[in-house]
Amino acid sequence: MKYLKYFAGSLIISFGILLVVAVVVAAGEIKMPDNTGDYLLYIWIGIAIVIMPFAKKIIRVE
């Protein structure tokens, strides 16, 4: 059960990272490829898996 909390926490953290990247891309008026939205879910889950060790350090499980 605690690994589910770690994974949920890493999903939240990675969503925040993607949100910041989206704001920077929109503010910089950077042209993105047309199929970026197709791979957004894969990118999000990939970032969440990479961030999982970081989430284990900051999330408290009681």
Q: What pLDDT is stored for residue 27 in this prediction? A: 93
All structural domains of the chain with their residue ranges: 2-58
Q: How many CB atoms lie within 10 A of CB 62?
A: 4
The whole-model pTM stands at 0.76
pLDDT at 62 over 80: no
pLDDT, one tens digit per residue, over 10-55 is 999 999 999 999 899 889 888 888 888 888 889 899 999 999 888 8
Q: What is the 3-state secondary structure (H, E, C) of the chain?
A: CHHHHHHHHHHHHHHHHHHHHHHHHHHCCCCCCCCCHHHHHHHHHHHHHHHHHHHHHHCCCC
